[in-house]
Structure 1
């Protein structure tokens, strides 16, 4: 059986009355390359931020490398690497 690297089950995130991510579910096996495509405001960045423990989901469950994103944040962070769109390095 293939091990799951990323698992999202009914993840939801709102900002006031705006629903940024509405109950998204997905399972990504280990050693898989995944691209997220969608229009501006579709929730791609919000979903990644929830799965990398930068944001707390309003509801749902997420695991990364077997670690719960809400209850094992340090373990999630130790098991991943994250590079943002813009470099935060001074010249």
Structure 2
């Protein structure tokens, strides 16, 4: 992969005693299409909100 357009390193988010996102790291290259897949409640939307400044 070429130089990453977006780099995420060890992102964490807790809600009280519940860890919603646990040390997620991700590189996204220019022109890449990326999907986050997981069951309900696995932290997909929370990660998106953190990355794009919505939380």
Mark yes or no: TM-score above 0.5. yes
- Output the aligned Cα RMSD: 1.2
Task: Give the SS at the match of 1:41.
Answer: coil
Higher relative contact order (CA 8 A, sep 6+): 2
Q: Are residues 1:17 and 2:53 paired?
A: no
Whole-angstrom CA distance in 2 between matches of 1:34 and 1:50:
16
Q: Deviation at 1:5?
A: 1.9
Task: Give the SS at the match of 1:48.
Answer: helix
Structure 1 residue runs of 4 or more that deviate by more than 6 Å after TM superposition: none
Can you give the 5+ residue segments of structure 2 that lack an aligned partner in the other structure? none
Larger Rg: 1
